[in-house]
Amino acid sequence: HVQLVESGGGSVPAGGSLRLSCVVSGNVGSNYCVGWFRQAPGKEREGVSAINSAGGPTYYVDAVQGRFTITQDNSKNTVYLQMNSLKPEDTGMYFCAAGTVCRGPYMLYDYAYDSWGQGTQVTVS
C-alpha cells in the first residue's frame, strides 16, 4: 500500500507563493510517477503538474506554466510543488498522487494514478 501525505497549503494574497510537499511511503517500488492535482468547489479535478521518480521531463497544465515548478528529492521520498505568482483561480484542494503509468501524454490524467493523498487546501485572495 502506498501512502502520500501533502502539506504546505494555506491562505495567501494574490501574487504570493506557497510550496507544497508530498511525502511518498509504502510499497511504491522504484519506478513511479507523482502528479499534483487540484479541485475547486463545483469544478472537475484537473492535473497541475507531474514528475517521474527516474527523472526526465516534467509536465504542467497550461494555466500554471511559468508560475509553478515541480521538483523532487528522492533521498527524502518527497515531491515539491513551488507555486509563485498565485492567482485567485489557483484556489482549491491540492492532492498528490502516485502511479506507474508514466508515459508523458498521460501524466496529467488522474486515471494514470493509483494512490492519492488526503489533500491540502490552497486559498488565494
Each residue of 15-32: pLDDT tens digit?
999 999 999 998 887 788
Answer whether residue 116 shows pLDDT above 90: yes
Q: Which three cell numbers stand for residue 121?
A: 487546501
Strand segments (E) across 27-77: 33-39, 46-52, 59-60, 68-73
Strands laid side by side in the 2-7 sheet:
2-7, 18-26, 78-83, 68-73
Please tell me the predicted confidence (pLDDT) of residue 28: 80
Where do runs of H (alpha helix) occur along 1-125? none
Do 72 and 34 touch, CB atoms closer than 8 A?
Answer: yes
Please tell me the predicted confidence (pLDDT) of residue 105: 81
Query: What sign does the CA torsion over 90, 21, 68, 96 have?
Result: negative
Each residue of 86-102: pLDDT tens digit?
999 999 999 999 998 88
Residue 72 pLDDT grade (very low, low, confident, very high; cuts 50, 70, 90): very high
Please tell me the predicted confidence (pLDDT) of residue 67: 98
